[in-house]
Amino acid sequence: MEFDLLGIIFSSHYMYSFSCMYHFLCMPSAPTEQPVMDPCKPSPCGPFSQCRVVNGHAVCSCQANYVGTPPTCKPECVVSTECPQDKACVNQKCVDPCPGTCGINARCQVVNHNPICSCNPGFTGDPFTRCLKEESKH
């Protein structure tokens, strides 16, 4: 056994201390770990946002397909009037409403967020299904 200057006796597994109350066997205490705080729980970022921990700090960004700056992330649009005149709100995105709208030999023009189909020059018919070449009258 060895003694240190404070009256502590060290053995291979236990530490006896004269400062322990009534000279009870004193076990060395395990180091206590401080609970790790997650700055993203609860999330400080707001709706439609995501939180990442960077160097122990919360860093907020909008989720994919959302625009703005946390905490005011929002869909690109909810109604077509939130889009430019030549776009329409489809699945909360401002998109060209023409693809797949008009029929064969027809053209599409967006007017006030709405696709307008018309037959190409020299063609006639239903622009939503098919336009046929006009027959020349002789």
- What are the backbone angles phi and psi of residue 36, rounded to the nearest 5°? -80, 120
Together in a domain, 69 and 101: no
Structural domain includes residue 53: yes
Rounded Cα distance between 36 and 71, Å, is 25
Boundaries of domain holding 60: 38-75
Q: Total structural domains in the chain?
A: 2
Together in a domain, 102 and 117: yes
* 26's tokens: 């004193």
Q: What is the rounded average pLDDT of the residues 65-82?
A: 95
pTM: 0.58
Together in a domain, 93 and 125: yes
Together in a domain, 56 and 86: no
pLDDT digit string, tens, across residues 80-122: 999 999 999 999 999 999 999 999 999 999 999 999 999 999 9
Together in a domain, 86 and 71: no
Structural domain includes residue 66: yes
CB–CB of 128/106 below 8 Å? yes
Structural domain includes residue 18: no
pLDDT of residue 135: 85
Rounded Cα distance between 128 and 107, Å, is 10
